[in-house]
Amino acid sequence: MTNPQVAATADFLVEPAAGVAGSASVPGDKSISHRALMLAGIADGASEVTGFLASEDCLATLAAMRALGVRIDRPTATDVRVQGVGLRGLRGASHALDMGNAGTAIRLLTGLLAAQPFASTLVGDASLMRRPMERVARPLREMGADVRTRDGRPPVEIVAAVDGTRRLRAIDYELPVPSAQVKSAILLAALYADGVTRVTSPAPCRDHTERMLEACGVRVETAGLSTSVHPPPRLAPQRLTVPGDFSSAAFFIVAGLLGAGPEGLLLPNVGMNPTRTGLLDILRRMGAHIEILNPRTSGSEPVADLRVFASPLSGIDVPPALVPLAIDEFPVLFAAAACARGRTTVSGAEELRVKESDRIAAMSAGFAALGVEHEVTADGMRIEGRAEGAAFRGGTIDSRGDHRIAMSFAIASLRASGPLRIRDVANVATSFPGFVELACSVGLRVRELPA
Ligand code: S3P
């Protein structure tokens, strides 16, 4: 794994492309890959994961689980064998765990490690060191863990219990924001609690942890927006095939809508968990023609193939209820909105300001550089789309080291009048290794250049 602290910088040079065609198989789901490693690590016995996402974020989790004493073999880049050590088998790492750029990794591991009898320290790259951690630390403290942050941000320190044991209290917790990372951190700590822990979210958010815990034999109950976990005696090992990441497919969904040929663009094997697919609902309201083919399940997750057809889009007011179900897709949705007829309004999306970058500010700066008329609000954006001709002029934009900003502007090249230079794109490897090759294989004209 490259050290995320010193990731080389690179730019994308993207020439306008005439269109996209063929088929694009996106790599495995990031959220599921992180969770698979953590749960397999504390299961009793050997788990096998295929379709693992070999991205920098997930490799940071893999390295952390190894540092905590779990044996993990990778016969191929995307096949992983984890020799679980059992719920009480982790041992303290000899060094701070470097989670790189990965918010999911640091938040979920904080939950898991808060329950252990040993001390841990979690750090990350410059972006991760700015991200809010009190939202996770607070409920874990309520459970009796000793979790410390620095001004609410990493490093996160989990202080060992003085008597060398740790028993957490079960809590009934209302999440202040609909965050799957916070919910999951609490549910992982809840595996070690003295009773049933209940977490209630103000709105639906991704539920991969709950599904995977159930697959491992844990008693999980859901009632409305509440999830309860009963502490188990053990976790069963798993044999898991990770579906393609809907959030990675999102870039190609928008590419297909903006520029697919008559056969459409095929996206095989995409994870279709309804807590992830809010973008499909939003785009369909804008006029998108997307076919869902061969719906099936892979383990505990729904999967399908998608065929996306070029579609004239119209601006809409995005229903705020769909925001948490499309939380990672807003950068590329903003790009699609810039190509739609009329105004698109996004509100209730203040969480975008605390992602890998402030995604409202990063997209706004990019839009300003490329001549897209828009207005920023505290919790979203109004975008005046241009449906005829080029929606973007050529120019240089700064991705601010945020993978999803970089890939969104690469897709915008389908409606650009000139080349785009996208700065600081090395972090595309945190979620989407092979993005450039896959994008070029369907007709986009992206090159990665050293900065
Ligand atoms: C994730 C949850 C979301 C999402 C992130 C992955 C997860 O974050 O943005 O990319 O795997 O649980 P929040 O929980 O902060 O909304």
What is the helix (H) or strand (E) element at residue 281, kind and residue range? helix 278-285
Tally of domains in the chain: 2
181 C-alpha vs ligand 1 centroid, how far in Å?
Answer: 5
For residue 248, how far is its CA from the centre of ligand 1 (angstroms)? 14
Q: Which atom of ligand 1 is nearest to the CA of 247?
A: 10
Residue 367 pLDDT > 60, yes or no? yes
Query: Is 339 near ligand 1, meaning CB less than 6 Å away?
Result: no
Atom in ligand 1 nearest the alpha carbon of residue 184: 12
429: phi then psi, degrees, rounded to nearest 5: -70, -10
Co-location of 184 and 326 in the same domain: no
pLDDT, tens digit, for every residue of 210-222? 999 999 999 999 9
55 within ligand 1 shell (Cβ under 6 A): no
Question: 333: domain range?
Answer: 10-28+243-450
Question: CB–CB of 303/297 below 8 Å?
Answer: yes
- The pLDDT score that the predictor gives to residue 267 is 99
What average pLDDT score do residues 414-429 get? 98
In terms of domains, do 35 and 151 share one? yes
- Residue 451 confidence class, pLDDT cut points 50, 70, 90: confident
- With respect to residue 249, please indicate whether it lies within any of the assigned structural domains: yes
Would the CB of 328 count as within 6 Å of ligand 1?
yes
Q: How confident is the model at residue 161 (pLDDT cuts 50, 70, 90)?
A: confident
Q: In sequence order, what DSSP letters do the residues of 198-217 get, joined into one string?
A: EEE-SS----HHHHHHHHTT
Residue 153 resides in a domain:
yes
136, two tokens: 């996770």
Residue in the structure block whose two tokens are 């505990």: 300
Same domain, residue pair 342 and 390: yes
Are residue 227 and residue 324 in the same domain, yes or no? no
pLDDT of residue 209: 98
Element containing residue 267 per DSSP (H, E) = strand 260-271
CB of 206 within 6 A of ligand 1: the answer is yes
Q: Going by CA atoms, what residue is nearest to atom 11 of ligand 1?
A: 31
Which atom of ligand 1 is nearest the CA belonging to 181? 14
265 and 146 fall within a common domain: no
The dihedrals phi and psi of 14, each to the nearest 5 degrees, come to -120, 120
pLDDT over 90, % of the chain: 96
Residue nearest to atom 15 of ligand 1 (CA): 179
SS3 at position 439: helix
Ligand 1 mean position to 264 CA, how many Å? 30
104 lines ligand 1 (CB under 6 A): yes
Q: Which of 241, 256, 286 is the last residue of a domain?
A: 241
Q: Is there a contact between 396 and 423 (Cβ–Cβ < 8 Å)? A: yes
Predicted confidence at residue 251, as pLDDT, reads: 99
- C-alpha span between 180 and 81 (Å, rounded): 26
**328 part of the active site:** yes
**Relative to the CA of 179, which ligand 1 atom is closest?**
14
Q: What is the pLDDT of residues 61-117, one digit of tens each?
A: 999 999 999 999 999 999 999 999 999 999 999 999 999 999 999 999 999 999 999
330: helix, strand or coil: helix
In this structure, the answer to whether residues 221 and 254 fall within a common structural domain is no
- Rounded to an integer, the average pLDDT of 387-416 is 97
* pLDDT on residue 306: 98
Average pLDDT, rounded, for the chain: 96
Domain assignment of residue 347, yes or no: yes
pLDDT, mean of residues 270-286 = 98
Cβ of residue 135 lying under 6 Å from some atom of ligand 1: no
Question: Whole-structure pTM over 0.85, yes or no?
Answer: yes
Hey, whose CA ends up nearest to atom 5 of ligand 1? 104
Give 262 Cα–ligand 1 centroid separation in angstroms: 35
pLDDT of residue 6 exceeding 80, the answer is no
In this prediction, residue 284 carries a pLDDT of 98
